[in-house]
Amino acid sequence: MGARDRSAPPSLAADAPRARLRLAPWLPPSALAAAVAATAAFTPDAGEAATLALFGLLAAGVLGALAFAVADGVRLGVVSLAAAAALVGLPHVGVLRSAVVVALLAAAVVLLGARALRHRPPLATWLALAAAAQLVARGELLLLGVDRPARWAELVALPLAAGLALAALAATGRQGARRAGTAALVAFAAGPGWGIAGVAALALAAGAVRVAEARNRAVADLAAALLPAAALLASDEPRWLAVALAGLGVAALAPGRSVAAAARGALALLVVGATLAAALPWRRPAPAAAFLGALVGRPASVVDRPVEGHAVVLTAAQPRLELELSGRAIRAVTIDSYLVESVALPCGTRLARVEVAAPAGSLAFDLEVGRDSAEWAAERPDVAAALACPAPPAWTSWIPAAGRFFGHHYRARRAVALPLAATRLVLERDPALPEATALALFEVATGR
């Protein structure tokens, strides 16, 4: 009497540990929110304050969701402290703060999530982890405003749906947790984050696995790995990545422990990397491919970086910048910049002449609108509508003091056929540009 029917698949509710709401794990994220709010409130620079506010909200939201899932006050305390230190302690230079905080939160979600999923977690844990992961991947939506229903769907509805699908997947037999974890990683990497295609694929996978589990476990494993990978086909990522993700997913569910562990590690790395590449400050359109490209591409080394961490603005009044270099051999020049008051400039307009002097030769090239730089506020709706030349892909994005949009930096890179022992670099703003147009330089570097 009272014996459980072991032939039926376990339900979501049966034998699951209850999630108890405890106060202590919530304390560190709450205190983090207070600390960052105070820091933002008393920061004189409006742009920096806006960045702090957004990332503070993001960090508190992610950690709050993790508090629900993990309920580990010590680990959450450590992550909260690290996030606070990064937000408060790092200088407001370029994309430094946003990159570090997003990386930290992504790592926290992966590590604490893996810990929470060890022992047949309840539905609430899946929902909380899905919400936390979505916040990390799509946190910029908080800046863009949650006044539109579509944004609410992205931030709330999609993660909830993903959590439900994953919980259903986790309840499919003994392999359930592994399948759910693998499917989650594959689907998330396809987004990154929970997109409609990814969530639909997860739901499909959950149903397919439930059907297949009773007949053939290997087919169930394949369904759990392949269906979420198919979601990648609906994104901007290259097609080969879908095949690679599918392969990794299958390997992650392989019987061999080391093969499965290595595949899971690779998936986790790809997820974290793609999430970083998609989040502020990089916001790459094909983030997984961008991350892999950065990982395996030819190593670059910087020789000189005469402009770094502060802006140098070339205007009509001060059009020229001369920089001394070390004289070591270089193969490339990189310039990060944006334009101000350049909306009306057509594509190809010359912005500046760049000359690199060396004892045995020189290099000269022009910076052009639409190829090497563009208006900083190109994404702002009123500016985007008026642009005479579409902006090139942004190198990095940042949060300006006013408005709910992102500002952009653009990168121009010129390679030299033969090494050049560069001693001087001169940038000169084109005198034909309108008086009000300025070229703001954030990084000028030479490299090999």
Partner 1 sequence: MTRRDLLQLLAAVAAAAALDRWLPPFGEPALRATVAFAPVPLALFAALGRRLPAARARGAEIFTGLLLLAAALRGEALGLPFAAPLLAVAGALWLGHRTLRLALALRRRLARDRRPRQLAPFVLLPLAVYLAALPWVTALRPPDGDEPYYLLLAHSLAEDFDIDLADEYRDEVWRAFSRHELEPQPGDPVGPGGEVFSRHEPLLPLLLAPFYAAGGVVGARALLAALAALAAGRLLAAALAQPGVTARGAFRAWALFAFAPPLLVMCHQIWVEVPAALAVVLVIEARARLRATRGRTRPGDWLRLALPLAALPLLKLRLLLVAAPLALLVVTGLRRSRRLQVALVIGFLALVATLLTVNQLAYGNPLKMHSVEELAPSQLPIERILRGGVGLLFDHAFGLVAAAPLWLLAVPAALLVLRRREPLSLELAAFAPYLLAVASRREWYGGWSPPFRYGLVFLPVLALSIAHLASRPRGALHRALAAALVGATALLGLAALTVPGWTYTLADGGSQLMSALGGRFDADLLRFLPSAVRPSAATWIVPLAAVGLALVATRVRAARPRRAAAWGVAALLAGWALLLIGAHRLPTRAIELEDPWVARQGTLVYPERWIIDRTRFRGGALLPEGASASARPVPGGREVTLTLEWTVIRNDDTPIALEVLAGEARLAHLAPRTPGDWQRTTLGPYDWTAGTRLAFRTAAPEGAPPKNGFVIDRVELDWR
| Residue among 91 and 431 whose Cβ is closer to partner 1 | 91
Helix (H, G, I), strand (E, B) or coil at 336: strand
| Residue among 83 and 427 whose Cβ is closer to partner 1 | 83
Helix (H, G, I), strand (E, B) or coil at 421: strand
Is residue 27 part of the contact set for partner 1 (CB under 8 A)? yes
Contacts of 50 (CB under 8 A, 6+ apart): 40, 399, 400, 401
| Residue among 13 and 261 whose Cβ is closer to partner 1 | 261
- Residue 373 carries which DSSP code? B
Closest C-alpha among 114, 117, 392, 110 to residue 273: 110
With 0-12 / 13-18 / 19 or more C-beta atoms within 10 angstroms meaning exposed / middle / buried, residue 75 is: middle
Is residue 21 part of the contact set for partner 1 (CB under 8 A)? no
Task: Please answer whether residues 266 and 189 qualify as being in contact, where contact means their C-beta atoms are separated by less than 8 angstroms.
Answer: no
Q: Give residues 79-118 in contact with partner 1 (rule: CB under 8 A).
A: 80-81, 84-85, 88-89, 91, 93-96, 99-100
- What is the secondary structure of 302-315 as a DSSP string? EEEEEEEEEEEEE-
Phi, psi for 327 (deg, rounded to 5): 90, 0
Of the residues 10, 19, 31, 423, which one makes contact with partner 1 according to CB under 8 A = 31
| Structure-block tokens of residue 150 | 């579509």
User: Shortest Cβ distance from residue 81 to partner 1 (Å)?
Assistant: 5
| Residue among 93 and 214 whose Cβ is closer to partner 1 | 93
- Residue 155 carries which DSSP code? I
Q: Give residues 290-329 in contact with partner 1 (rule: CB under 8 A).
A: 294-295, 297, 299-302, 308-309
Task: Please answer whether residues 362 and 353 qualify as being in contact, where contact means their C-beta atoms are separated by less than 8 angstroms.
Answer: no
Is residue 22 part of the contact set for partner 1 (CB under 8 A)? yes
User: Shortest Cβ distance from residue 99 to partner 1 (Å)?
Assistant: 6
Task: Please answer whether residues 155 and 146 qualify as being in contact, where contact means their C-beta atoms are separated by less than 8 angstroms.
Answer: yes
User: Shortest Cβ distance from residue 170 to partner 1 (Å)?
Assistant: 21
What is the chain's Cα-based Rg? 25
Per CB under 8 A, which region of 228-236, 257-265, 337-345, 353-361 contacts partner 1?
A: 257-265
Is residue 198 part of the contact set for partner 1 (CB under 8 A)? no
Of the residues 76, 158, 330, 444, which one makes contact with partner 1 according to CB under 8 A = 76
User: Shortest Cβ distance from residue 256 to partner 1 (Å)?
Assistant: 13
Of the residues 151, 217, 404, 411, which one makes contact with partner 1 according to CB under 8 A = 411
Closest C-alpha among 409, 304, 417, 322 to residue 94: 409
331: enclosing H helix or E strand: strand 329-340
Neighbours of 249 (CB within 10 A): 27
Number of residues lying near partner 1 (CB under 8 A): 54
Per CB under 8 A, which region of 13-21, 166-174, 261-269, 312-320 contacts partner 1?
A: 261-269
Is residue 447 part of the contact set for partner 1 (CB under 8 A)? yes
d(CA 154, CA 405): 17
| Residue among 199 and 271 whose Cβ is closer to partner 1 | 271
Q: Residue numbers of the site for partner 1 (CB under 8 A)?
A: 22, 24-25, 27-28, 30-32, 34-35, 37-39, 41-44, 73-74, 76-78, 80-81, 84-85, 88-89, 91, 93-96, 99-100, 261-262, 265, 269, 294-295, 297, 299-302, 308-309, 336, 395-396, 411, 443, 447
